[in-house]
Structure 1
Amino acid sequence: MSDNYFQSVKGHYKKSISCLVIDNITDCMSLSPKNIVNLKIPECIELADTSFHNGGPIDILLGATIFFEILCKNQILLGKDKPILQETLFGWIAAGSIQVQNQKQVTSLLCNEQELQDQLLMFWEIEEPSVQKIKYSHEEEECLKYFNETTTRDETGQFVVKMPLKDNIEQLGDTYDVALRKFIALEIKFQVNPGLHKQYVTFMKEYKDLGHMTKTNDHNNETVYHLPHHPVVKTDSLTTKLRVVFDGSAWPSNGLSLNETQKVGPTLQNDLFSIIVRFRKHSVALTADVEKMYRKVWIHESERHLQQIIWRENQESPISIYQLNTVTYGQAAAQFLAIRSLIQTVIDNEDRNPVACYVIKNDFYVDDLLSGAEK
């Protein structure tokens, strides 16, 4: 963007404007010169552009605000099938069509072979995104390497991962006081809205019953981090109306937040546009999602003290400290860990079931599947 001004070569009109400078606006206004003798433009008219009937590039494109500002009240009608002359602060301008007489109409098609080749290449890259070459940043490469070196599976086959932590983990602050204040404010909200309280308790009870969080007394460790939590209500959901979100970005009184000590990791799935384009090709549509995808991946026991929360079902009970045992939504590295684990299932099973693995690798967007088949 640049600040500049333009002025009329026919008068004193001058206007300051902010311009966006680009190489090209569009094609020429006219493809070939036109004969305007038959228009019989009055000699007393001073045209803003005496060569308006000839082809040429567009130098500047003005907005509607300036357009209406430069219009004057006078107009001249040159006749049927002829342009209208309009007086402006730049001089008179012509608007409308010009009839071309005794000219043979020629229609041509120009095809640039290189452009066509590039377009076909782009099309096939969308069709086969797995062949695209992706260049990761140094931090993203570190996340991928760390996942390969530290990820294991337990006796049930579930993934056990470690957080890709930065070198500044020692600067992690504790948010116990912040988490406690927010929890007390949440309990006040429960008193006003008993229905919300009931849904919240149900959600957290399921969390405990599934083993995704367990009570702990380890809240005096120097590197402990307490995650504040709050409800997100989605009334149009067919399954879970309420979801509890744990805030890994909560700012501690001293030090860094948990998200500031985590590496984010690369994007591993195809972009949504490519997935939808392929999805629309299928005669039979197939949609699905992975239930509790993040919570299907466990955090290594040595790092669960970084995921502690404050909780009690009612105000009559003492406040307890729980640790979250699985990958937790709301953390910087959570999406990478969950999606990388999903992709690992493809790597481990591609030889045995290549069709299913192809779908998992190419038709998932986070935990949502958009795929299909032919009749």
Structure 2
Amino acid sequence: MGTLVQEMILESAEVDLEVVGAGMKRGRTILIPKVLIIQNFPTMLPNSVANTSDISRWTHLRGVELPELQSNSIEILIGQDVPQALVPLELESGDTGALQSAAHSLEDKRVLRLWSETGIKTNGHYQFPIPFRNEKTELPNNKAVAERRRDGLRRRLSKDTRLRQGYVEEINKLVAEGYAESVPKCQLESDTGLVWYLPHHPVLNPNKPNKVRIVFDCAAKHKRTLLNDQVLQGPDFNNKLLGVLFRFRQGTTAIMADVEAMYHQIHVAPEHRDALRFLWWENGDLSREPVTYRMKVHIFGGVWSPSCATYALRRTFQDHRSEFPDMVAQAEVNFYVDDLLMSLDSSNKASMLACQLRRLLACGGFRLTKWASNHKGVLATIPPEERQSALKEIDLRQDKLPMERALGVRWLLEACAKEIISAQLHTFCDASQAAYGAVTYLRMVDWRKYPVLFRVRTGQAGPTQATDNAKAGTLCSCPRVNADRTIRREMTMTIHESYFWTDSMLVLQYIANSSRRFQTFVANKIAVIQELSRTDQWRHVCTSLNPADDATRGLPVLDLIAGSQWIRGPDFLLSVEERWPKGKELSAVLNDLLEVKREVHHIRTADLRLKLKRLNTEELQSAEQTIIRLVQKEAFEKEIQTVIKGELPKDNKLYKLEPYLDERTLL
């Protein structure tokens, strides 16, 4: 018997079964022929079956109860070869977003089940255990490692008074806020197997010179053991960054906020807190003996912490969404880790949403702060101490709004949004045998019919797996149509049309072809392109106007920063459509090179009677030379004229090749 993970030899018998579904009102019998009988199923089989906790995060499935299975309670597995047994008796449909959740691994499901079953709320905050890989984890005593790192930290802090002051303040804050506590003397010699000492160090941000962040090193190794390896990472609950930024730019009124100390708002189960011990000097006095502390909350540096924090945030929305309007509950998709970025159609809605979101997140022990908005009316409804630091002292009646950063993107608050009447996606592709690149721009036209461009997605890779430029161009074009679909799905605004631009006529002919059979590599890519896009959406653009050419040929950093096409987009997209490149007409794709040569020969001789004649070698060679001559004339017309008159200038791209015209007048 073969499975995904192993092959085994088992004794088996074959029988035919008649099965009746449990709870079926009609008692319909299903015949299942050729059923194999084995002694036992694998013990891990129940972990592959969904249970009630797995589906509880979807509101439309909360009323569905699934049985809890044990390995010895599973008696039959029915495969896809018995479709009549798999017909659903009832269908519960949710919204589109619910169906787009990423599939979870078995480890992810295990973490979800752990947090769902053991998570509680205490003192207004959620409390979850650390998801250790093994239930009976035994950690070695690594206190010596923590002591060595402590001594190094002491020397560093002794030399830097400013760093020491910031470090002491942060540790004192952890203790004062209840995020950390000293370990009672009676528990110092605890031998539960879950005791681990975390070295810690400062991390400084150049953009925040006065801020010291303390990071606990969960990757510190002792006897081939490190804490992060003993813990499951947990599912990735983050919304897609691309979608968050897209939706942030859509409405006329935008708001931004930050969840204060997000990780520290989720408590650690008491039985796991000794795995988060650390050493520190009381009151920051480096001359005294260090004291043993332990964290009571999940920490920055733990491999499981990002998943735990986003799970707690989602759990807050799940547990309290019924208490708030739908618009507030839907804000869940506009968080990226601890950052909220959202836009709405009016300032009144934005003000209401900001107020309601503060209340909703407070139900889970979270506090939204560092608010910013491009509308002064919205800012006026937010207390000054809750705003971004640059907005706390501002006079909303006369001062201009400053520039802020939103997930690394500069946001000029004073720039007001316009009413959009048209939105298009323009994707440019380019490829070579060395690399391929693509870039997508969002072209929006406001009510004044002024077009505006935003670079929304880029991609670059290399070298390609293709063996020629045609395959490389097709390989580049295929993922771009998928990217277009992803962008459309993430944006809630209406995209009126999508266009795909390439400077390869061969790729365009491949896409336009509907009769020729291609090699498997090209055929599979073209099938995807033709399924997800229309032929009339594909346009030709000359190489000089193709911004994706910067990705495949490379560009000096200074030229990129100075405002390359890659950054600003092609200038013609800022004009009306009538001024866009017309490109070349797509002629029917000829079957092969022989057919091309035959057509050229007929054109040269102007003898239609030869249409069915088989060409000899000399005629084929003559046709081939004509093709090369025509291509060279189109690509190197100036160079050919210069070579006829004399030598090429040294700055010409063909100079190093020492070109000349042979007796056939070919370059």
TM-score range, shorter chain: 0.5 to 0.7
| Residue type of the alignment partner of 2:116 | N
| Residue type of the alignment partner of 1:243 | R
Question: Residues 164 and 207 (structure 1 numbering): CA distance in 2 closer, same or farther, change over 3 Å?
Answer: same
Please identify, of 300-309 and 165-174, the stretch whose mean Cα deviation from structure 2 is larger: 165-174
Rounded Cα–Cα distance in structure 2 between residues aligned with 1:190 and 1:266: 37
Rounded Cα–Cα distance in structure 2 between residues aligned with 1:355 and 1:200: 41
Q: Is the 8 A contact 1:171 1:255 kept in 2?
A: no
The aligned residue for residue 328 of structure 1 is 299
Mapped pair 1:182 → 2:149: yes
Rounded Cα–Cα distance in structure 2 between residues aligned with 1:270 and 1:319: 42
The aligned residue for residue 172 of structure 2 is 205
Q: Is the 8 A contact 1:169 1:261 kept in 2?
A: no
| Residue type of the alignment partner of 1:357 | A
| Residue type of the alignment partner of 2:140 | G
**CA-to-partner distance for each residue in 1:128-186, whole Å, 9 max, x for gaps?**
644414211000011111110010011x2211111111117534233211111111111
Q: Secondary structure, in 3 states, of the residue corresponding to 1:351?
A: helix
Rounded Cα–Cα distance in structure 1 between residues aligned with 2:217 and 2:291: 18
Question: Residues 345 and 271 (structure 1 numbering): CA distance in 2 closer, same or farther, change over 3 Å?
Answer: same
Rounded Cα–Cα distance in structure 1 between residues aligned with 2:309 and 2:129: 11
The alpha carbon displacement at 1:249 in A equals 1.0
Mapped pair 1:365 → 2:336: yes
The aligned residue for residue 105 of structure 2 is 137
Rounded Cα–Cα distance in structure 2 between residues aligned with 1:180 and 1:194: 22
Q: Which of residues 295, 305, 308 is equivalent to 2:277?
A: 308
| Residue type of the alignment partner of 1:159 | Y
Q: Which of residues 162, 165, 169 is equivalent to 1:195?
A: 162
Rounded Cα–Cα distance in structure 2 between residues aligned with 1:267 and 1:287: 22
The aligned residue for residue 234 of structure 2 is 265
The aligned residue for residue 236 of structure 1 is 207
The alpha carbon displacement at 1:213 in A equals 0.7
The alpha carbon displacement at 1:221 in A equals 2.7
The aligned residue for residue 100 of structure 1 is none
Q: Which of residues 247, 265, 271 is equivalent to 2:217?
A: 247
The aligned residue for residue 318 of structure 1 is 289
The aligned residue for residue 259 of structure 2 is 290
Rounded Cα–Cα distance in structure 2 between residues aligned with 1:219 and 1:336: 30
Percent identity for Structure 1 against Structure 2? 25
Structure 1 runs (4+) deviating above 3 angstroms are: 127-131
Q: Secondary structure, in 3 states, of the residue corresponding to 2:319?
A: helix
Question: Residues 258 and 244 (structure 1 numbering): CA distance in 2 closer, same or farther, change over 3 Å?
Answer: same
| Residue type of the alignment partner of 1:276 | L
**CA-to-partner distance for each residue in 1:95-121, whole Å, 9 max, x for gaps?**
xxxxxxxxxxxxxxxxxxxxxxxxxxx
Question: Residues 362 and 333 (structure 1 numbering): CA distance in 2 closer, same or farther, change over 3 Å?
Answer: same
1:100-111 → structure 2 map (5 Å cutoff): none
Mapped pair 1:159 → 2:126: yes
**CA-to-partner distance for each residue in 1:275-320, whole Å, 9 max, x for gaps?**
1111111211111110000000100111100000000012222210
TM-align CA RMSD: 1.8
**CA-to-partner distance for each residue in 1:29-59, whole Å, 9 max, x for gaps?**
xxxxxxxxxxxxxxxxxxxxxxxxxxxxxxx
Q: Which of residues 212, 225, 228 is equivalent to 1:256?
A: 225
User: Higher helix proportion, which one?
Assistant: 2
* Structure-1-length-normalised TM-score: 0.63
1:53-202 → structure 2 map (5 Å cutoff): 129-154=97-122, 156-167=123-134, 170-202=137-169
Q: Secondary structure, in 3 states, of the residue corresponding to 1:288?
A: strand
The alpha carbon displacement at 1:269 in A equals 2.3
The aligned residue for residue 665 of structure 2 is none
Rounded Cα–Cα distance in structure 1 between residues aligned with 2:300 and 2:231: 13
Q: Is the 8 A contact 1:228 1:250 kept in 2?
A: yes
**CA-to-partner distance for each residue in 1:188-215, whole Å, 9 max, x for gaps?**
1111111100000000001110111111
The aligned residue for residue 93 of structure 1 is none
**CA-to-partner distance for each residue in 1:9-34, whole Å, 9 max, x for gaps?**
xxxxxxxxxxxxxxxxxxxxxxxxxx
Rounded Cα–Cα distance in structure 2 between residues aligned with 1:237 and 1:131: 40
The alpha carbon displacement at 1:351 in A equals 1.1
Rounded Cα–Cα distance in structure 1 between residues aligned with 2:228 and 2:136: 10
Q: Secondary structure, in 3 states, of the residue corresponding to 1:350?
A: helix
Rounded Cα–Cα distance in structure 1 between residues aligned with 2:221 and 2:288: 28
* Structure-2-length-normalised TM-score: 0.36
| Residue type of the alignment partner of 1:141 | K
The alpha carbon displacement at 1:270 in A equals 1.5
The alpha carbon displacement at 1:220 in A equals 2.5
Rounded Cα–Cα distance in structure 2 between residues aligned with 1:249 and 1:204: 21
Rounded Cα–Cα distance in structure 2 between residues aligned with 1:133 and 1:204: 38
The aligned residue for residue 345 of structure 1 is 316
Question: Residues 191 and 272 (structure 1 numbering): CA distance in 2 closer, same or farther, change over 3 Å?
Answer: same
The alpha carbon displacement at 1:325 in A equals 0.3
Q: Secondary structure, in 3 states, of the residue corresponding to 2:308?
A: helix
Please identify, of 213-222 and 284-293, the stretch whose mean Cα deviation from structure 2 is larger: 213-222
The aligned residue for residue 491 of structure 2 is none
Rounded Cα–Cα distance in structure 1 between residues aligned with 2:225 and 2:136: 8
The alpha carbon displacement at 1:219 in A equals 3.5
The aligned residue for residue 23 of structure 1 is none
The alpha carbon displacement at 1:355 in A equals 2.0
Rounded Cα–Cα distance in structure 1 between residues aligned with 2:221 and 2:151: 17
| Residue type of the alignment partner of 1:356 | V
Q: Which runs of 5+ in 1 are unaligned?
A: 1-126
The aligned residue for residue 220 of structure 1 is 189
Please identify, of 132-141 and 362-371, the stretch whose mean Cα deviation from structure 2 is larger: 132-141
Q: Secondary structure, in 3 states, of the residue corresponding to 2:208?
A: coil
Rounded Cα–Cα distance in structure 1 between residues aligned with 2:267 and 2:190: 21
Q: Is the 8 A contact 1:203 1:243 kept in 2?
A: yes
Q: Is the 8 A contact 1:173 1:255 kept in 2?
A: no
The alpha carbon displacement at 1:266 in A equals 0.8
The alpha carbon displacement at 1:366 in A equals 0.6
Q: Secondary structure, in 3 states, of the residue corresponding to 2:154?
A: helix
**CA-to-partner distance for each residue in 1:63-103, whole Å, 9 max, x for gaps?**
xxxxxxxxxxxxxxxxxxxxxxxxxxxxxxxxxxxxxxxxx
